[in-house]
Chains A and B, each alone.
Chain A
Amino acid sequence: MKKFSLSKTVMYALISIYSAICFIPMLLVLMISITDEDAVLKNGYSLFPEKFSLYAYKLIFTGGSQVMQSYTISIFVTVVGTLLAILVTSMAGYTLANKHVKYRNLLALYFFITMIFSAGIVPWYMMNRMLGLTDNILALIIPSLLFSPFNLFLVRNFMNGVPDSLRESATIDGANDITIAFRIYLPLCTPVLATIALFYGLDYWNNWWNAIMLIDDQDLYPLQFMLLQLQSEISMLNEMTMLAGTSDMTLPSESVKMATAIVTIGPIVFLYPYLQKYFVKGLVIGSVKG
């Protein structure tokens, strides 16, 4: 028989309450999204839907809707961007970890300076304008997101741990650096590549900064940015109908808004077990010693 301990109980309660605080808001959004629109308008938002309805999701997933268009953009940008970013970062990481390259620390400094000192958003914007990275899909892939020195150093530190004898024996067998990097180093570094893939992937998926700065064309809106627009547009539309007194024509706005938010975090929920495992590992390494 275990002894009842008051302090233990308090501690379990504390963590349970904090977890609930983290969880309930997301649950609320989910519940609103599956509530019938009339019920929402009559009773306000509620954790316990009075009348269940999947109408909002049906509306979202109808062909040709803006949500589907944005979803396609977001998926394309995330997949292509992440793959390119991993390629650029891991190749550079290989060189910085190559002990035969005499100036590897100078190279590291070259990347480090831009990490410490950024010119700010105005020069960034000017540069993108000059390169023509506005209003096209590349503007969502290339600026800011394609390469991060932080991830580079993460890869380099991991690759420093690969024994140099592997490289030497491969060199004796006549392999060049490209072969060594792609055939030996990258397969050995899958854990760190998985980590940076998640870092990059999440950055791409959640990014709307590039869109707000560089994209005006509605067909190119990524999901996050579309969600931002939706928030302001629908509330504006409702205000207008309220002013005009034509309240019989109500958009299924509340449930649709929340359903779109839920759809946006879908992939994150889906990948969550992996995210948690590798993300935390990477962050712990990065935050304690960058």
Chain B
Amino acid sequence: MEKRQRQTFGMFMDIRKNGTSYLLVLPAMVYTFIFGYMTYPYMIIAFQRFNYTKGIFNSEWVGLQNFEFFFRSYKAVTVTFNTIFLNLLFIAFGTLTALVIALVLNELRKKLFVKISQSVMLFPHFISWIVVSYVLYAFFSMDMGLINKLLNMLGIASVNWYTEPEVWPAILTAMNVWKGAGMSAVIYLATITGIDETLYEAAEIDGANRWQMCLRITLPLMMPTVIILTLLSIGKIMYGDFGMIYALIGDNGTLYSTTDIIDTYVFRSLRQIGDPSEAMAVGLFQSVIGFILVFGTNAITRKFFRDGALY
């Protein structure tokens, strides 16, 4: 008790001493309080039948009914599976592509070529998913898209891609790699550049060729970064990319069976169906599992790579 009093007192003294410093941090603190801490209490509406006019204090309590509704519907399994499955595809193909590009770029010695190709492959990272949806449409449109034109040239009938759910995990993975792999490759390349030059010099004296150096020096030394980044992504596996899925799929219900994720489901419950309590229940389910995963993967990271842990 006394210790706490002293601490409160100490903080008071510190604020008096460094008043202007605390003044500078105040806007950020107020912002974080409002949009961070003050949002936490709203999570209890998962256990209510929330009504906008009655508010959080007067809405009816319904226990676990919202959760029951979600888990009894076949949707629970579908959206959870899709979220995890798509994320796994993105992580696997994204990491692999980025790794190969980084290793190859590192071998190339023509500076201008490397610079230009880097600029080109970074570009998709900076555009929004909505612009990407236009790119996608240019390829997969039923009667004007390039893909169907190509198929027609080969004598195959046009396919209406926007009504074929089976192909979408592949398309989404391709688009995810297209947008993100260049950036990851550049990050990996920065790790490679950080590797001690003398290791390569020593290997060269020992008669190693470039291929051996790549396999025995570069790859093992960049593994920690690769594993850390992968673990971080696995920690976030319960969180889908709403921006991506909604921009590319939108409200196209035909494709939901393979593309609907938790985030789009929550969005629809909240904004289109207008059931905030149901949305919150699903969101809470996502947060709890997500939280466990973030903690778990971070614990693993901390155990094996001290420097790479998030906290």
Q: Interface on A for B, CB 8 Å cutoff?
A: 7-8, 11-12, 14-16, 18-19, 21-23, 25-26, 28-29, 32, 40-41, 44-46, 88-89, 91-92, 94-96, 98, 100-103, 107, 110-114, 116-127, 129, 131, 143-144, 146-147, 149, 152, 176-178, 181, 202, 206, 208-209, 212-213, 224-225, 227-228, 231-232, 254, 257-258, 261, 264-265, 268, 272, 275-276, 279-280, 283-284, 287-290
A178 touches B121 (CB 8 A): no
* C-alpha spacing A111/B32, complex, angstroms: 7
* C-alpha spacing A44/B139, complex, angstroms: 10
A287 touches B149 (CB 8 A): no
B11-58 interface with A by 8 A CB criterion: 11, 14, 17-18, 20-25, 27-29, 31-32, 34-43, 45, 52, 56
| Residues in A whose Cβ lies below 8 Å from that of B20 | 176-178
| Residues in B whose Cβ lies below 8 Å from that of A23 | 120, 123
Contacts A88-B31, A126-B39; A15 near B104 (Cβ below 8 A)? yes
| Residues in A whose Cβ lies below 8 Å from that of B146 | 28, 44-46
Q: Does B292 contact A (CB under 8 A)?
A: no
| Residues in A whose Cβ lies below 8 Å from that of B221 | none
* C-alpha spacing A29/B42, complex, angstroms: 43
A-contact bits for B141-169, CB 8 A (1 contact / 0 none): 10111101100000000000000000000
B38 touches A127 (CB 8 A): yes
| Residues in A whose Cβ lies below 8 Å from that of B229 | 287
* C-alpha spacing A8/B307, complex, angstroms: 35
14 contacts between A and B (CB under 8 A): A12-B110, A25-B139, A46-B149, A92-B28, A116-B311, A119-B287, A122-B270, A123-B41, A177-B18, A177-B21, A231-B134, A268-B127, A276-B119, A289-B307
B172-195 interface with A by 8 A CB criterion: 178, 182-183, 186-187, 190-191
Q: How many residues of B contact A (CB 8 A)?
A: 98
The 4 closest A-B pairs by CB, nearest first: A114-B36, A123-B42, A92-B28, A123-B39
A127 touches B39 (CB 8 A): yes
Name the residue on A nearest B110 (C-beta). Answer: A12
Name the residue on A nearest B144 (C-beta). Answer: A44
* C-alpha spacing A103/B228, complex, angstroms: 30
Determine how close the nearest CB of chain B comes to the CB of A196; give it in whole angstroms.
Answer: 13
A181 touches B24 (CB 8 A): yes
Contacts A120-B43, A122-B276, A122-B279; A15 near B310 (Cβ below 8 A)? no
Name the residue on A nearest B128 (C-beta). Answer: A206
Interface SS of chain A: helix, strand, loop or mixed?
A: helix
* C-alpha spacing A124/B45, complex, angstroms: 13
Name the residue on B nearest A271 (C-beta). Answer: B126
Most buried by B among A23, A25, A228, A265: A25
A272 touches B21 (CB 8 A): no
B29, B41, B145: the one within 8 Å of A44 (CB): B145
A111, A122, A147, A178: the one within 8 Å of B266 (CB): A122
| Residues in A whose Cβ lies below 8 Å from that of B52 | 129
A44 touches B143 (CB 8 A): yes
Name the residue on B nearest A131 (C-beta). Answer: B34
| Residues in B whose Cβ lies below 8 Å from that of A122 | 42-43, 45, 266, 270, 276, 279-280, 283
A91 touches B28 (CB 8 A): yes
| Residues in B whose Cβ lies below 8 Å from that of A212 | 246, 271
Q: Does B135 contact A (CB under 8 A)?
A: yes
Contacts A111-B28, A127-B42, A208-B130; A22 near B271 (Cβ below 8 A)? no
| Residues in B whose Cβ lies below 8 Å from that of A107 | 25, 29
| Residues in B whose Cβ lies below 8 Å from that of A206 | 126-128
| Residues in A whose Cβ lies below 8 Å from that of B80 | none
Contacts A100-B21, A261-B131; A120 near B28 (Cβ below 8 A)? no
Q: Does B296 contact A (CB under 8 A)?
A: no
Name the residue on A nearest B279 (C-beta). Answer: A122
* C-alpha spacing A289/B178, complex, angstroms: 25
Q: Does B76 contact A (CB under 8 A)?
A: no
Name the residue on A nearest B175 (C-beta). Answer: A25
A-contact bits for B180-221, CB 8 A (1 contact / 0 none): 001100110011000000000000000000010000000000
Determine how close the nearest CB of chain B comes to the CB of A219; give it in whole angstroms.
Answer: 19
| Residues in B whose Cβ lies below 8 Å from that of A19 | 116-117, 120-121
A208 touches B191 (CB 8 A): no
| Residues in A whose Cβ lies below 8 Å from that of B101 | 15, 18
Q: Does B96 contact A (CB under 8 A)?
A: no
| Residues in B whose Cβ lies below 8 Å from that of A143 | 35
Most buried by B among A7, A40, A118: A118
* C-alpha spacing A45/B144, complex, angstroms: 5
| Residues in B whose Cβ lies below 8 Å from that of A11 | 104, 107-108
Q: Does B61 contact A (CB under 8 A)?
A: no
A224 touches B130 (CB 8 A): yes
Contacts A15-B105, A126-B39, A176-B20; A227 near B28 (Cβ below 8 A)? no
| Residues in A whose Cβ lies below 8 Å from that of B120 | 19, 22-23
Name the residue on B nearest A5 (C-beta). Answer: B210
Name the residue on A nearest B106 (C-beta). Answer: A11
Q: Does B286 contact A (CB under 8 A)?
A: yes
| Residues in B whose Cβ lies below 8 Å from that of A26 | 123-124, 135
A112 touches B311 (CB 8 A): yes
Name the residue on B nearest A208 (C-beta). Answer: B130
B134, B143, B211, B263: the one within 8 Å of A261 (CB): B134
| Residues in B whose Cβ lies below 8 Å from that of A232 | 250-251
Q: Does B10 contact A (CB under 8 A)?
A: yes
Question: A122-B283, A264-B131 provided; 5 other pairs, C-beta below 8 A?
Answer: A88-B27, A119-B40, A122-B42, A144-B35, A212-B271
